[in-house]
Structure 1
Amino acid sequence: MNTTRALILSLTAGLLVVTFLLVKPFLQFILLALLLAYPLRPLQRRFEPKFGKQLTAGGLVVSATIALVLPTLWLLRIVFREGRGLLTQVRSGDVEFTEVERWIENVTGEEVDIMEAIQNGFQESGLGTVDGAVGLFQTLSNLAIGLALTMFLLYYFLKDGDRFYRWLDATLPLPDHIQSQIRQEFDDVMWAVLASHVLIAVVQGIVAGLGLIVLGVPNAIFWTAVMIFLAVLPIIGSFLVWGPAAVYLVSVDQAVAGGVLFVYGAIVVSLSDDFLRPLIIDRYTETRLNPSVVILGVLGGVYLIGFIGIFFGPVIIGSLRALIDVYRSEYIEETIDTEETPDEMPDSTPTKDSQSRDQEVPESVNEQ
């Protein structure tokens, strides 16, 4: 390696570190834009010849924004409305936590004052103070800036995605067939994670919501929508709703309904994840990605990069497996095949033709 090459590589490595530090505060929004680009890329390729790159990408970004913002605003509206109604009922005495507190005391042996705990939590959060209001404003401002950045990046991911792939192919020092194989593996894992998370979340939320509706849990439709969002988290997602709902039914003297809901959630709702996830992953990947890897990737991704790690944690682990598979197929198995294949040696076993020639020679000699 000459001095010029070493200097360029050193500067590139240094600038990569600085660039990562620059984008780190917005890493989740960048990954969110990449995540949204995957299901939208087929639509971009389909309508691009008819409407052009810019118009197609812009229309998809606007459509994605509306599809994300409207359900979120609807959900927030319901949350605020239900929360205000519950607060009014608690203040008027229509809703009491006596039964719940008594049930908790019977189970744990500890006296609990739920209203006092709620008031203390509200005071500690600082939501009613000036500092709390300023902090909430900063959070909302950062969220708005991040979402605007997401839509901005999504536009260019859609418009210039093919150009980026061509640049990547020309830059990476890998043979074309290896790049194609790695990209195909990455795409398969990405689609499998997306499909498994989204479809299972919808199915689990609806199945659990049917249980809430049948057993008479208040505001069951709202909690069904909440469970669809929470069910993206494997294992504990929808349990955060149907578990407390079962406790609520027990606390209001509906022990049978609470027990039925708990058994229904533990068996039907929870096992739907174990049943559906392998089917969906097998549908989108040639080499099966074990569901335990998906769960490990989800939990590790959340700890590492936050909420968006729910999707990219399994993708990172799946991509690592893909790279290992490519290395094995390209280098290890090829080496083993070369070592096991014997050198071509002349066959000393007489063939049928050679035997016939040997028999013909004496005859010709005799004729002479």
Structure 2
Amino acid sequence: MTPSDKPAQTPLEKGSLMVLLLAVTVALIWILLPFFGAILWSVVIALLFAPLQRRLRHKTRLGATPAALLTLLLVLLIGILPVVLITTALIDEVAGLYLRLQSGELNPLPYLRGLFDALPSSVVSLLQKIGLGDLRDLQVQLSSALAKTSQFLASQVYSWGQNTFGFATSVAITLYLSFFLIRDGQQIVAQISRAMPLAAAHKAELYEKFATVIRATVKGNLLVAAIQGLLGGLAFWFFDVRGALLWGVLMAFLSILPAVGASLVWAPVALYFLFTGAVWQGLALSAYGVLVIGMIDNLLRPILVGKDTRLPDYVIMITTLGGMAVFGLNGFVIGPVIAAMGFAVWHLFTQARTPQD
């Protein structure tokens, strides 16, 4: 039977098929939700490294499966392994910080007194007006905050230890899915494309936009985060700030937020240096933060993210923040992707409504 010989579907059959399709799709999404993060990052890994797999096949004449396995090994060496090592070192540093807080070896109260005594009288008057001028009250509040911080750090270290198996399982699922997406990604994309009721040119444009935004967002943000975290951690180590690794990782994490991220860490430390009489350290850290750490964000992010996505900087920033507010850490990928796809769909819609000459 040729396609033209197929019997026409009745409206009831078409409606039933659509209801069934919707129900099955919702059920599939529901059962896959627990693995949302693993699926997302397997797609990201496939989009980033599938071109490498194709080049390996072309240059080494390897089959699809060996080339995909070799590509996955490279992902482990340059992506997963460094993250695991840094996370392990970070857990040790957080545990050490908790022990120093508990034993009293690390006591921020004298630093607070020195900072308070170094403040100009106008600032002290302003603090008194808003109820923060009493050093004893501040010490009580800080002691309470330190106690809560100690409890939080202890619970986090315990939680990390408890979740090691879950994290390892998630990584294993991600790598497992990545292998098949790297190896069979082109066939999977072709099948999805055939199922989409859109013109071929529109499908190609949407897929190109989706792939480009994910590659640019992940490569750009992760590269900027890694560089800013490394530079910030080295600066803190040079100025003998305790917990340089912890602060460097925190700067890398916060640098996902465009423009202001890393400065939320180094700027208060620079101000502390200035107020406590360590003028050259404060000025040097401020200059380093603005001219080196800040310029990395201002120079690299527009080149690596904005140029390829063709989205304005303010759109990238607000969709990154919104994505992280809704989806957590994964939102720094999902937010800009949704924005870019939205722009692309509106562009296609506008083109379809515009009369052609």
CA distance in 2, matches of 1:92, 1:139: 27
Cα 1:204/1:318, change in 2 over 3 Å: same
Runs of 4+ aligned residues of structure 1 deviating over 6 Å after TM superposition are: none
CA distance in 2, matches of 1:92, 1:177: 66
Shift of 1:302: 0.9
Q: Give 1 or 2 for the bigger CA radius of gyration.
A: 1
- The aligned counterpart of 1:344 is none
Q: CA RMSD in A?
A: 3.2
- The aligned counterpart of 2:90 is 79
- TM-score for both structures, normalised by structure 2: 0.78
- The aligned counterpart of 1:204 is 228
1:96 matched to 2:124? The reply is no
Cα 1:328/1:66, change in 2 over 3 Å: same
- The aligned counterpart of 2:334 is 312
- The aligned counterpart of 2:33 is 24
- Candidates 56, 66, 70, aligned match of 1:55: 66
Q: Give runs of aligned pairs for residues 225-236 of structure 1, distance below 5 A.
A: 226-236=250-260
- The aligned counterpart of 1:42 is 51
One-letter amino acid matched to 1:52: G
SS of equivalent to 1:307: helix
Shift of 1:64: 1.6
- Candidates 1, 19, 24, aligned match of 1:15: 24
SS of equivalent to 1:306: helix
Paired residues, what number? 329
Instruction: Give the fraction of aligned pairs with identical amino acids, expressed as a percent.
Output: 25
Cα 1:138/1:15, change in 2 over 3 Å: farther
Cα 1:16/1:101, change in 2 over 3 Å: same
Kept after mapping to 2: 8 A contact 1:99/1:251? no
- The aligned counterpart of 1:293 is 315
- Candidates 106, 111, 114, aligned match of 2:138: 111
Kept after mapping to 2: 8 A contact 1:99/1:252? no
CA offsets, 1:72-106, max 9 Å, x none?
A: 33323433444455556556765432333223695
- The aligned counterpart of 1:350 is none
Q: Give runs of aligned pairs for residues 271-350 of structure 1, distance below 5 A.
A: 272-281=296-305, 283-285=307-309, 288-329=310-351, 331-333=352-354, 335=355, 337-338=356-357
- The aligned counterpart of 1:179 is 203
Q: Structure 2: give runs of 5+ residues left out of the alignment.
A: 1-9, 118-123
SS of equivalent to 1:174: coil
Between 1:67-76 and 1:7-16, the stretch displaced more is 67-76
CA distance in 1, matches of 2:102, 2:194: 67
Q: Structure 1: give runs of 5+ residues left out of the alignment.
A: 339-368
Kept after mapping to 1: 8 A contact 2:273/2:282? yes
- TM-score for both structures, normalised by structure 1: 0.76
Between 1:155-164 and 1:275-284, the stretch displaced more is 275-284
- The aligned counterpart of 1:269 is 293
Shift of 1:225: 5.2
CA distance in 2, matches of 1:121, 1:202: 26
